[in-house]
Amino acid sequence: MTGINRANQFEGISTPFYFYDMELLTRTLDILREESDRYGYRVHYAVKANANTRLLKLISSYGFGADCVSGNEISRAVECGFTPDTILYAGVGKRDDEINKALSLNIFSLNAESLPELEVINELAAARGITAPVALRINPNVDARTHQYITTGIEDSKFGINISELDRIVESLKGMNNILLKGIHFHIGSQIRRMSAFRRLCIRVNEIQSWFNSRGIFPGHLNLGGGLGINYQQPDEIPDFKQYFELFNRFLEVRSGQTLHFEPGRSVVGQSGSLITRVLYVKNESATPFAVVDAGMTDLIRPALYQAFHKIETLSPSDISKKYHVVGPVCETADTFGKSVDLPQIKRGDMLAIRSAGAYGEVMVSSYNLRDKPGTIFSDDLRD
Ligand code: LLP
């Protein structure tokens, strides 16, 4: 277990808290940069996965850009060192003030998801006397075959512009003088572990790009979104960025001068975070016992919301192994981190690590039951 074999060092720190293994994050970023640089691909980290300022500053120091989904994420990204000309702004429901913020900062591109949104962007840009840099987020109708809540690229999804609408949009764009069409954008979903989904995406993008070209439109960039999954069973594993980028290099038809952009989130930060919690009570010893811990679904909602698996490890070894239902204190049955989890025998006061929680963990914290927010500890702040 990298970085979190530190039960002693955690003594005295109140639980629950997020622990970030900065060494693992640094190694991930080193590989991500090396593999993307190999092809000159531009990486825009998806801030939604984890917007912790310390992590963002480290990520921006690698020269990566940011993929944002709200005005506040854009502000946070800029504060943490991402330069506006590397910031993308996506989202189905951009407010006028958020569009204005993006326009005033002159970000790389606003990724528009509908005709009504394009009309608003055009109007707001006209009012400022500028041209808005826009990419069309197109729904490629490629099924990523991941969890239904995180599949985004199929036709009945709320995201993106359907291919059947493209004709009308391209026609309407001719009358929008304050929009500059810079690129086309795709994102088919998240936690994608089967590379074949990305291959199907490439093939569809090639077709869509040809469709644009045949109408005399030559997008300056292609944005392939994010979605590369992590290995929740093997929490220390760094995703295979080499294989991922190789695939795009092999299957995507790139026109000369065109740039390729990616928006990885989970694969960058997921493996570096763990939620550390303490056992409050072990109850119901006769059946499978419940280990009631002090972290709940308010601290990490993924198991409750997506039935997501997160490996649970104890930081207090024991020779005897048992099965436990690991549950939180929140008044919801869904507040369960794992059913029948094999663990060394545990007792009140022991610490558990809920692994692979670096992405969509801390950012999705809520205050339901008026619970406090979990703390945050970085590995490089702990003494060895
Ligand atoms: N680009 C766009 C347009 C997106 O919608 C997303 C994620 C990403 C990039 C980053 O995708 P990633 O590389 O992280 O898969 N809360 C859910 C995940 C929601 C993903 C939303 N969109 C979860 O905990 O699994």
Helix residue ranges per DSSP H, 215-341:
241-251, 266-269, 302-306
CATH no. of 7-17+271-381:
2.40.37.10
pLDDT at 133 over 60: yes
CA distance 231 to 239: 7
The per-residue pLDDT for 4 is 58
266 Cα–ligand 1 center, Å: 7
pLDDT at 1 over 60: no
CA distance 286 to 301: 29
SS3 content of the chain, % helix, strand, coil (to 5): 35, 25, 40
CB distance 73 to ligand 1 below 6 Å: no
* Secondary-structure class of domain 22-270 per CATH: alpha beta
> What is the rounded radius of gyration, in angstroms, for the C-alpha atoms of the chain?
22
The per-residue pLDDT for 146 is 66
CB distance 32 to ligand 1 below 6 Å: no
Q: Contact at 8 Å (CB) between 120 and 128? A: no
For residue 281, what are the β-bridge partners? 292
The per-residue pLDDT for 154 is 59
CB distance 275 to ligand 1 below 6 Å: no
CA distance 46 to 21: 19
Give the strand pairing for 290-293 and 273-283: antiparallel
CA distance 184 to 209: 8
The per-residue pLDDT for 5 is 63
The per-residue pLDDT for 9 is 84
Over residues 1-8, mean pLDDT: 60
The per-residue pLDDT for 318 is 82
267: which 2 tokens?
């694969």
Band (pLDDT 50/70/90 cuts) for residue 155 is: low
Q: What is the pLDDT of residues 34-48, one digit of tens each?
A: 999 999 999 999 999
Over residues 290-300, mean pLDDT: 98
Over residues 226-237, mean pLDDT: 98
Band (pLDDT 50/70/90 cuts) for residue 295 is: very high
Over residues 233-243, mean pLDDT: 98
Domain ranges of the chain: 7-17+271-381, 22-270
Max intra-chain CA distance, the chain = 73
Same fold yes or no, 7-17+271-381 and 22-270: no
CB distance 302 to ligand 1 below 6 Å: yes
Q: What is the pLDDT of residues 320-355, one digit of tens each?
A: 999 999 999 999 999 999 999 999 999 999 999 999
Which residue is closest in CA terms to ligand 1's atom 23?
360
Atom of ligand 1 nearest to the CA of 229: 15
Q: What are residue 52's phi and psi, to 5 degrees? A: -60, 130
Atom of ligand 1 nearest to the CA of 147: 25
Q: Which of 378, 384, 301, 383 is nearest to 57 (CA)?
A: 378
7 Cα–ligand 1 center, Å: 32
Q: What is the dihedral of CA 20, 25, 27, 32, to 10 degrees?
A: 170
Q: What is the pLDDT of residues 55-85, one digit of tens each?
A: 999 999 999 999 999 999 999 999 999 999 9
Q: What is the dihedral of CA 283, 289, 292, 295, to 10 degrees?
A: 180
Q: Contact at 8 Å (CB) between 324 and 291? A: yes
CB distance 263 to ligand 1 below 6 Å: yes
Find the range with the poorest average confidence among 150-154, 213-217, 310-314: 150-154
Matching residue, tokens 């720190």: 13
Mutate-to-test residue for ligand 1 from 137, 223, 266, 306, highest number of ligand atoms within 8 A of CB = 266
